[in-house]
Amino acid sequence: MHVKSGDIFMAKQEISLVDQTLTRVNKRFVVSTPGDLVLNQSVLLQNSPYTQIYTPLPGQFIIGILQQCNSDGWIVDINTARNALLPKQYISKQALTENNLVYCKVLSANPGEQTVLKFEDATCSQLLISQGTLLNLSPNKCVNLSISNEIQLEIAKRVKFQLFIGVNGRAFLTGCTGFDQFTVRKGILMDKEEVQEWMVERERLRGKKVL
């Protein structure tokens, strides 16, 4: 290909930064001399603070797995490289059990320090693993589900269920089993238009007793 001055090239570039933001830019290059590209324009297409890696922030609701209890409180797996601490003073009177789940709030998350959780808010609860299913999703998906409940409402037109969403990439599905659980698990991974089609298809398959 012959390249001459003034030729224009467009290139999309995706950048993962240290703070885990995701930035997409559309860059326009102009050829100044053959073989020499000059950046002429850079247009921001998307800048999202949510990636597939969970970073704790104060005030977030997460789903943790109770690991063990010590003199300070409970050690909790929150889907990060380092386990968090749920101090005794921030635990309600409810008795907690090892290997069960807790839906709780991040109290503090300072760089280089252990994340501290809080379990005394009215919305916090222990989730019994024997009474539901833990779903491992991406943090990005969990954030989207927590911001908008359109998909959950669409599924709820046909299925009764309860879904606890932690922004750390975990969700806990309870209140349904078998066919209905399959419906919800598949539906929450779709966008609104897809889930509407899926719910119609669900009824067709149910009528034919395929599922």
Least confident residue range of 42-56, 59-73, 76-90, 112-126: 42-56
DSSP-derived letter for residue 119 is: B
Percent of the chain with pLDDT over 90: 50
User: Does position 96 have pLDDT exceeding 70, yes or no?
Assistant: yes
Residue 50 — very low, low, confident or very high, per pLDDT cuts 50/70/90?
A: very low
pLDDT for position 109:
95
Residue 177 — very low, low, confident or very high, per pLDDT cuts 50/70/90?
A: confident
Output the pTM of the full model: 0.72
Residue (of 202, 162, 169) closest to 186 by Cα position: 202
DSSP-derived letter for residue 161 is: -
Q: Give residue limits of the domains in the chain.
A: 8-48, 61-195
- The C-alpha atoms of residue 117 and residue 85 are separated, in whole angstroms, by 6
pLDDT for position 45:
41
Residue 41 C-alpha from the chain's centroid = 33
pLDDT for position 79:
95
pLDDT for position 19:
38
pLDDT for position 171:
96
Top-confidence residue, 124 or 28: 124
- State which CATH number among 3.10.620.30, 2.40.50.140, 3.40.50.620, 3.20.20.70 fits the domain covering 61-195: 2.40.50.140
pLDDT for position 42:
43
The average confidence (pLDDT) of the chain is 80
Residue 180 three-state SS = helix
User: Does position 54 have pLDDT exceeding 80, yes or no?
Assistant: yes
Q: In angstroms, what CA-CA distances link 199 with 48, 122, 147, 157, 190?
A: 30, 33, 22, 9, 11
